[in-house]
Structure 1
Amino acid sequence: MLSILRGTQRSFQVALWFLALAVFLLVGFLHVDFRLLIPDKVQEPPVTNIMFLKTHKTASSTILNILYRFSESHNLTTALPEGSRVHLGYPWLFVTRYVEGLKQDNRLQHHFNIMCNHLRFNYPEVQKVMPNDTFYFSILRNPVFQLESSFIYYKDYAPAFQKAKSLDEFLADPWKYYNASVSLRNVYAKNNMWFDFGFDNNAPADMDYVHKCLAEVEQRFHLVLIADYFDESMVLLRRRLRWQLDDIVSFKLNVRSQSTVSHLTPESQERVQHWCALDWQLYQHFNRTFWTQLHAELSPRQLTEELEQLRERQRELTALCLQDPEPKNLTHIDDRNLRPYQSGKANILGYNLRHGLGTTTLHICQRMAMPELQHMAHMYSLQFPNKTPKDIPLMKK
């Protein structure tokens, strides 16, 4: 009887061993990624030293909001514009005196964790502000859509745009309106993203020059995202920064109403590629590298699952925070602190929060919906409580 029991026990142990082996082999065969089974379990500490080159009309205001929120929630320091400035010296090349807290410090021993306001990239000067282990990233957009957005947003600001009735008209004969020597305000009218990276936006698109500049960007930046694939960009950014899901969930900020969006003719779209040839080369190159990096990091199944996780969480927070998931016209936004700055012919939209939100929920929702200028002023007051607050007219009652 005892020998029978022992035999049964051994058989049971052998069966368990084979079952475990079968599960192990099945998992390997199916390529199960256990990080997806516990999607918010981060194995390593999050990246906290970050420089984001905020390009123009590329969904960069939404990323700035993400970085501001992360900085505040993790008690980090942010390199903010000095005094009454709202940018870090743009459109001039960045120098350290544009940062609050560094103007009187000749030794520049103080470093910040995050740098994300508009500036024209100047690597030697940025290095003086940011730690050696800083993660550098930026974002680009298809130049056709980037220039269309710039034309509407800077219609009354850029001399090159002021007299053209439409972007189609401008592109039909751009040199009729554009003069590179007139004003730095015209940087928005030609190769604006190239200019943001610190290069000459009026340089000929000579391929030796282009390749040299592209190699420099690759050397300086760890990642260049693509605004046309914003969700995919956030999935890859989250992995690179080792952040939690809620850290990169966002509401779209600084978006226009569809009534102010122009649909360019096919001829105009082709003309953009020639007029903004440097931007086009920049975009084409880093669009390729973006997808190469994304596919090297995630399988198609992983990408699909992580995109769905991101979008589901966005839907949850939208339902939790907002009266209406669709952004509203300025005149329909109740809270002045949530009314976005208006520029040119663009109709910039914003959000109304739901009433009756609890203190913690209200704190989260307010910061997700807060427009760029108000958010910058808020961060400035937190970081420099003894200095005169930023004067943001939209916040005045």
Structure 2
Amino acid sequence: MSSVLGSIQRTFWVVLLLVLVVFLLLGFLHVDIGLLTPLLRDEAEGLPVTNVMFLKTHKTASSTVLNILYRFAETHNLSTALPVGSHFHLGYPWLFLARYVEGITQDGHPPRRFNIMCNHLRFNLPEVQKVMPEDTFYFSILRNPIFQLESSFSYYKGSAPAFQKVSSLDAFLAAPRRFYDDSAGPQNAYARNCMWFDFGFDNNARDDAAYVRARIADVERRFHVVLIAEYFDESVVLLRHLLRWQLDDVVYFKLNARSERSVTSLAPESQERARRWCALDWSLYEHFNRTLWARLHAELGPRRLRAEVAQLRARQRQLTARCLQDGEPKRKKEIADPQLQPFQSGKADILGYTLRQGLENATLRSCQRMVMPELQYMARLYSLQFPEKPPKNIPFLKP
């Protein structure tokens, strides 16, 4: 009897030991697999996308997107399609032509292809395809046309003929045909359906349902995604997944933003007039606002989206504390470094940033790239990419 009990006890302890070993192995394997999961996922998803064309629309937070792309290009030593010679735009407001890009050959040879294209241009697909590879990822960004028009009025008050002789946007919208002339040329695109115009379409076309559907279908066929400025963080999270980039590739500081004192609050009747005046832009915005959210739910789902937006904002707070003096944007006169002073236009009071003192060299370079305004960064990349050519001259930086 005692031998039977002894045998049972030994069996019990052996089984218990085996169970403990199995649990230990499972725990080890769980941790090990967890550590490997990101690597396995990256392997399955493929390499980061490095051929990217961004249609930079006007007054839509596009300067912040441009900075993300410039940083990615510089970090990964990619070529960027930059304006030729002393120019700052790729032919805008005229339809884009390949010859507007520095480095495009003119001797009958196949044109050079670039990795990144993101400077202002008016979209013209056949000419863009001469510059960008076949596997290029195309994307753009839109903003609520009411607020986009308000920003345009502030920024282009002195350059758009329709805005020059009117005291306020409310006054313009009360009788836009008094100030807007269809025959005044493309400079007036800033005053009506500017985003529609940037996509290469006629901003003075009739708001015909069939025509609008056809043009929106054109955009959907070419562009892999269209972001929405009002949901910028959600848009950036989706973009990061589609491009298979890292979090620090897309973390950002808001650039080319105006101070609160230069932002006008439109009356409700003016907002409705703006929506009707820019009806083509409104149709474009409504459609791609819907498709963005459908894409977000399909690609990520609500829970993962919230988590990744929170992660993006947490990283942004870390970099704000690391890089920025006082953590707040500054007016131009408060920024001593001319390479960080933003260009001022019209009635807009454009803000920039001052960096913390005493930053270690590598941190300083990283922070400088995040806050560098568009013109200065373009000039920097131009000099790096074409050292044999005269550097870009930025007149407002001269004393």
Is 1:9 aligned to residue 14 of structure 2? yes
Is 1:289 aligned to residue 291 of structure 2? yes
| Distance across 2 between alignment mates of 1:163 and 1:124 | 38
Residue 62 and residue 105 in structure 1: after superposition, are their counterparts in 2 closer, same or farther (change >3 A)? Answer: farther
| Distance across 2 between alignment mates of 1:338 and 1:21 | 54
Matched residue, 1:170: 172
Matched residue, 1:277: 279
Q: Which runs of 5+ in 2 are unaligned?
A: 1-5
| Distance across 1 between alignment mates of 2:60 and 2:331 | 21
Residue 296 and residue 20 in structure 1: after superposition, are their counterparts in 2 closer, same or farther (change >3 A)? Answer: farther
TM-score, length-normalised on structure 2? Answer: 0.92
Is 1:213 aligned to residue 215 of structure 2? yes
Matched residue, 2:195: 193
- Structure 2: which amino acid aligns with 1:317? L
Larger Rg: 2
| SS at structure 1 position matched to 2:182 | coil
Deviations 1:5-55 (A, max 9, x none): 455434554677699999x9xxxxxxxxx79x9699844311100000000
| Distance across 2 between alignment mates of 1:20 and 1:354 | 49
| Distance across 2 between alignment mates of 1:298 and 1:81 | 37
Matched residue, 1:104: 106
Whether the 8 Å contact between 1:40 and 1:245 is mirrored in structure 2 is: no
Residue 298 and residue 177 in structure 1: after superposition, are their counterparts in 2 closer, same or farther (change >3 A)? Answer: same
| SS at structure 2 position matched to 1:219 | helix
Residue 121 and residue 357 in structure 1: after superposition, are their counterparts in 2 closer, same or farther (change >3 A)? Answer: same
Select the residue among 43, 49, 52 that pairs with 1:50: 52
Whether the 8 Å contact between 1:108 and 1:129 is mirrored in structure 2 is: no
Residue 61 and residue 362 in structure 1: after superposition, are their counterparts in 2 closer, same or farther (change >3 A)? Answer: same
Matched residue, 1:131: 133
Deviations 1:89-133 (A, max 9, x none): 001101100000015243334210000000000011111111111
CA shift, 1:394, in A, is 3.5
Paired positions, count: 390
Whether the 8 Å contact between 1:119 and 1:196 is mirrored in structure 2 is: yes
Whether the 8 Å contact between 1:42 and 1:244 is mirrored in structure 2 is: no
| Distance across 2 between alignment mates of 1:174 and 1:281 | 20
| Distance across 2 between alignment mates of 1:289 and 1:189 | 26
| Distance across 2 between alignment mates of 1:105 and 1:315 | 50
Root-mean-square deviation (CA, aligned residues, Å) is 2.5
| Distance across 2 between alignment mates of 1:297 and 1:172 | 43
Question: Structure 2 matches for 1:1-397, cutoff 5 A?
Answer: 4-10=9-15, 12-13=17-18, 42-43=42-43, 44-397=46-399
Deviations 1:203-233 (A, max 9, x none): 0010110000000100000000000111111
| Distance across 1 between alignment mates of 2:204 and 2:10 | 87
Whether the 8 Å contact between 2:156 and 2:346 is mirrored in structure 1 is: yes
TM-score, length-normalised on structure 1? Answer: 0.93
CA shift, 1:305, in A, is 1.0
Percent sequence identity over aligned pairs: 64
| SS at structure 2 position matched to 1:52 | strand
Whether the 8 Å contact between 2:104 and 2:111 is mirrored in structure 1 is: no
CA shift, 1:321, in A, is 0.6
- Structure 1: which amino acid aligns with 2:305? L
Deviations 1:62-96 (A, max 9, x none): 00000000000000000000011101000110110
Matched residue, 2:3: none
| Distance across 2 between alignment mates of 1:269 and 1:16 | 69
